[in-house]
Each structure stands twice: as structure tokens, then as C-alpha cells.
A and B are shown apart, each in its own frame.
Chain A
Amino acid sequence: MMLEEKKKIEVYDMGGPRLTFSYGPQHPGTGHFRMTVTVSGDTIVDLEPDPGFVHRGKEKMAEYKTWITNIPHLERPAILDAAGMVIPYCLTVEKLMEVEIPERAKYLRTIVAELDRIASHLYWFSLYGVFLGHTTMFLWCVNDREFILDLSQLITGQRFTHAYYIPGGVRNDAPKQVPKELIKEFKYYYSRMIGREPSQEELSEDFKKYVLAVAHFMELRLDHYYEMFFNSEIFLERVRNIGVLKREDAIRLGVTGTTLRASGVKYDTRVNDPYDAYPFLNFEIPVRDEGDCYARAMVGYQEIRESLKIIRQAVEQMPEGPFKLKQHPLVIKVPKGEAVGRAEAARGEILYYIVSDGTDKPYRLRMITPSFRLLPALKHLTVGARLADIPPIYWSLNYWPVEADR
């Protein structure tokens, strides 16, 4: 049992026995993750989260790899949010090395981090939709995500798991031109989805103009999402007043990310402890007070809008200049010491604690991912709820098993 006090359970059973069963790990609704659920009637009496099915030993692996070769494998816990996973690692190593990265690198990092945040949130909403019986949301989000991933590919060379960040900057610069094929594809998709052709300016091959066009397109699509999904009765009936996490419980359980902000706590590492180009940009942190599944979804929805705002500003303000300090060899040595670094990944705050003994490998690398911190909330919210409320509660938390298990 968790230490927290148990919620008052209203039991609707007719004197029948209680039933304990496994929800997962093979169930498509949970990912590689199991919950041991005990029900009485259809009310959940007890729920025990059981992570670890996709534990890969990242922290041990990091002790065997060098500072640079650690980068590709550390972004695997959340492949769609590779930036969120690796930026705090680079920030921490830079703290140990006591270097400051060039301005342009800061902006490039911010742009890719926000693209990843959008891609990750779109994937979240696609699954959120499909598990509430809304297949259109799945198809729309996955389709629109394509153009976000194409942008990531243009900048970093990879659709996801970019391995783009290195201590001291980023690996390569953004291009000046966009390939013709991409413009053609974008024009076709834009006119099918929005119902009119994009303007001549939006079809420019200039990189900056293309980014602005994609951001504009995504904004129009967000309006569609709102009408079709976030404001539809099918969705609202399943999520309103379900899984209410009160402000004091959110703080007590130490949750993070959209879950925390949907419970009325304005806490975002991008603003509290700013890094990269965030201090130079103007954006809001969406907060809601209700704390239910609907609020959590809407905070994520608003975050996509804010991310688009950030990308637009960053592309326009990005200065010219170098994008990394120097070309690192594959083996670098990091001075002795220890440091803590953190950043805001798509799912919340991610924290690294690194001890270096002056060699080419970390002595100890500790990675605390946001999903792991959401597990107490999952248990807190489901005990006392109905069995059919597990999918909305689970998906509203945006819990990702691979990220939690590392």
C-alpha cells in the first residue's frame, strides 16, 4: 500500500467477491506496463502500478560509455521527445565543464526542443483519442505530426532521436533552403485539410518562411482539434470531473509537467530556472485549476499553441554565428565534480545528477524522468474510480512506461 491515506471508496458491490487481475503488460492501452487492479463490482478498490517491463539500465550503461557516446542512448527513453531527454544532460555536462554555448546554438536547441514537445503532445492526443474511442483524432494528429517531424529532419537530419545536442552546442546548423518535394507535399496536404491553397509566401523555399508557414498551419489545425475533439460531447463526457487531482495532493505526491499545471501550480522549468533561449522569448505557461482529466488535456493543448509561439519568435530572432564551441573528438574529458541539471521535457521536469571523476566516462549518472514521478498520482487517482475510468485517467497523465523505466 502507498503511504498516502486511502480515498474513501464507495463500493457498489452486491456482496460478491473482490476480483484481482492484471491490467497489462500486454494490453495495448497501457503500453509495456502493468497495473494490478482489485475491483469490487466495477469500482477500483486497490491498484498497484508495476513498472519495470522495459527497464534497460540506462544509468549503468552510461558508466560504460563516453560522455559523447552517451547521447544517442540517453534519448531512447522517449524517442519522440529526444530533445527533452538530452538537453538537461548537455546542460549538466556544460556546468561541469564550465562552458557557455553560442547564442545561435541556444536558439537552435530551443526550436528543436519545442518541435519535439509538439510532436510528443500530438502523439499523446492521438492515443488519448483512440483509447476513448475517437479514431479520427488518432489519424489527424499522426498525419499533422508528419510536418513537425519533417522540420526536425531538416534541422537535425533525423525525424526523431536526433542525437543533435552535444555539450558545447549542437551538431549542425539549420539549412537555408527547403527541398521542393517538401513544399509540394505541404501544399497538397494544406489544401486538403484547410480547404484552400496556402499563400505564395507560405510556399517559399526559404527556411524561415517555411517554418512560419508550418506553424501557421498547425495553429489552424489546433482550431479544428478543438471543434472536433476537445469540445466534443464524446470526449467531455469521459473526462470532465474524472480523476480530480487537488492542488495539495499534486504537491504532496510530487507530480510534474502538465499534471502539476492542471492542478493549479504554475511551475515550469523553462520559466523558473531558464536555460537555452527561453529567457529571451515571450510565452505563457498554461495553468488550470480544475485538476481533472479535461484540465490536463487542455493544458497540453494550450502548450502546443505556446510552443508554436516560441518557435515563431525563435526563428525570427535567431542570430547568425557559430553553432558549437568546437568540433569535439569522440572522447572528451570532463573535470572532476558533481552537478545537478534540469530542463522541461514534454512530460515534465527531468533532472540529471552527474558525478565525474575526471575521466572520459561519467562516474555516476542519475536520470530522474517525469513519468516515474507520475506513478503515485496514477494510484491516487484510480483508487475509488470506476474501471472504465482507467483509460482517461491513464492517458490524461501522459505517462510513458519506457521513460519511467529507463
Chain B
Amino acid sequence: MTWQKLREIIDDVKEKFQENVEREIYVEKKIAKIIVKKESIIEVARYLRDTHRFDHVKGVTGVDLSRLKEGGGPYIELLYHLGSLEDQELDDVILNLSVMLDIENPIVSSLCSIWPSVELHEREVYDMLGVIFNGHPKLERILLPEYWMDIPPLRKEYKVPGRE
């Protein structure tokens, strides 16, 4: 039932934001993802929060797509895993709001003003993949040591010492 509702939400977002939605991936029980343009992420996020009651973010994931053979490219994909605690109909689904960033210059607006729960998750993505979040209140290292000088470790070009 709720997966159908998720389908309707995705269609609604597509209709509202037209060309700002690049594409969507919807495989029932597996993944539901909307990929939006970088410039419009704040508007889409605000719309999802206010209209569709996605009230918290479970986590933020960054994926370095540069070595992915199919569908890859010089991008970092950023995913916000959204959920709703208030809306009973949405409690068994996760909507992924995604944005593609250029790997050479990964800068995006922070969503801290929309969902305060993303603050530490965005710091982690900054730490692990070097994504810069504009407007983040405290963009500092969180898991890595403060003296870390190497490239961000979850980038594919980072090799774990002794493993390769």
C-alpha cells in the first residue's frame, strides 16, 4: 500500500519540479530514488518536508561513482535517506533524495536548515568523501583524526595501506 503512495509522491515531485528532476529509480521493495538537479535540492527538500511529511533524515550517503562500470562517471552521488515518523502510511518506506556532484568540485547546499537531523551525517560525508556543504553550521572532521592530510578515504582512488 505504502509503496504505491511512494510512487504517487515521486510522480507528484516530478510534476511539480519538471526539468529539475533528472530521473527517478523505483523498484518496489528495493529502492525508490529521485535524482534532482543540484540547484533545486533545497526547494525539493522543503517541498517533501512540508507537503509529504518526511520529517527526518535517517542518514546521508556519498558514493564515488568514478569506478562504476555501468552508470558510473566522474561524479559523487549524494543520497539523503528520508523517512517519516508522523505519517503512519509512510513508516515502511524510505525515499532517497539524490543529487549528482562533480567529483572535481563537489559543492552542494547543506540541508541543515530543512532537517536538523542531517548535521552530523553531512559532516561525516565531508570527512569521508570531501563534499563541501554550503551553509553548514559546523563543517569539521568528525570520525577521522583532526590531523588527517590524505585524500578522503571513501574516494575510490584512496588505497588502504597494505591491502593493494
Contact = CB atoms under 8 A, between A and B. Distances in A.
Contacts of B29: 95
Contacts of A337: 27, 30-31
B143 A368 contact: no
Nearest to A55: B143
Contact of A273 (B25, B91, B112, B142): B91
Main secondary structure of the interface of A (DSSP, over half): mixed
Contact of B116 (A3, A51, A357, A375): A3
A4 to B, nearest CB: 5
B120 A372 contact: yes
A315 to B, nearest CB: 27
Contacts of A340: 30-31, 81, 94, 96
Contacts of A19: none
Interface residues of A, number: 44
A393 B33 CA distance: 37
Interface string B116-144: 11011100100010000000011001111
Interface stretch (A212-220, A226-234, A250-258): A250-258
A252 B92 contact: no
A404 to B, nearest CB: 9
Contact of A254 (B57, B86, B142): B57
B92 A272 contact: yes
A358 to B, nearest CB: 8
B85 A260 contact: yes
A171 B124 CA distance: 34
Interface stretch (B14-22, B40-48, B62-70): B62-70
Nearest to A353: B61
A139 interface: no
Contact of B163 (A64, A252, A368): A64
B69 A376 contact: no
Contacts of A251: 55-56, 85-86
B91 A254 contact: no
Contacts of A349: 58
A60 interface: yes
A1 interface: yes
Contacts of B33: 338
B79 interface: yes
Interface of B: 25, 27, 29-31, 33, 55-59, 61, 63-64, 67-70, 79, 81, 85-86, 91-94, 96, 112-113, 115-117, 119-121, 124, 128, 137-138, 141-145, 153-154, 158, 160, 163
